[in-house]
Amino acid sequence: MRGAERWARWAGAVAVALWVASVVISSGSPGENASEAECLAYIQKDTNTIIVGGFLFMLGCLAFLWFAVVLRERLAAAEGGSGMLSNVAFVGAAAVGAFMMLTPGPEIAAAIIAEEEEVSASAAAAMRMLPEAFLVAAAISAILLMLGGGIVALGTRIFPKVWAWCSFLLALLLVIPPIGWAALLLGLLPVWIVTTVFLLRRGAPAVTPVAQP
């Protein structure tokens, strides 16, 4: 089991790698300002690309959830007691993984339907825009992960203080609607996760529990 636990720490890096692969595969998708006709043409022409890219993205979400379990165990061991803050962080991570997994769903559904029957340009455009709602929900959920993990790290020194303060900064950015999704995609997913994986690979350090009154 120790070998499995050791390799499980890499789940976060695997998640980021799969997400990057998905983005690369789907790099030819129309931009936000694309017309409804362009969205429809993309869905009809690049069905396989949409399905493969979406499938890789969802696999990345599964890897992230596994990473969340590993992180929760480390935080809970450091926090001690009921592990309330560790559980808060895990709930946030689980919600992030769930909402992110839903993100490629509408576009995949549109691509599959377009193969079997006619889809209107407006419907295709709407299904391409729907994932943004899931990204917003994931960004809001990530606030719990940042705050819960950051407070535990700051109080126990399981991770460096800079990790905790960066988590708090990300939480602040995530709560701002216009830039929350950017903080999620550019800060949380690639940078924060990879950094946390590296810290987890260092092994379980001696921790200093939060002083109880």
| Mean pLDDT value across the chain | 83
Q: In the chain, pLDDT over 70 holds for what percent of residues?
A: 85
Cα separation, 92 vs 146, in Å, equals: 8
pLDDT at res. 18: 94
Q: Where are the domains of the chain?
A: 2-201
Cα separation, 67 vs 209, in Å, equals: 23
pLDDT at res. 212: 41
Least confident of 1-5, 29-33, 50-54: 1-5
Cα separation, 22 vs 29, in Å, equals: 12
pLDDT at res. 108: 84
Indicate the helix (H) or strand (E) that contains 92. Answer: helix 84-102
Question: Are the CB atoms for 84 and 149 separated by under 8 Å?
Answer: no
User: Residue 207: how many CB atoms within 10 A of its CB?
Assistant: 18
Residue type, 35: S
Higher local confidence (pLDDT), 125 or 147? 147
Q: Which two tokens stand for residue 124?
A: 């295709």
pLDDT at res. 196: 93
Intra-chain end-to-end CA distance of the chain, in Å = 37
pLDDT at res. 211: 43
Higher local confidence (pLDDT), 19 or 190? 19
What confidence tens digit (pLDDT) does each residue in 86-107 have? 999 999 999 999 999 999 888 8
Question: Are the CB atoms for 14 and 56 separated by under 8 Å?
Answer: no
Q: Please give the C-alpha separations between residue 166 and each of 72, 117, 153, 204, in angstroms, as whole numbers.
A: 18, 48, 11, 20
What confidence tens digit (pLDDT) does each residue in 153-196 have? 999 989 999 999 999 999 998 888 778 877 887 777 788 999 99
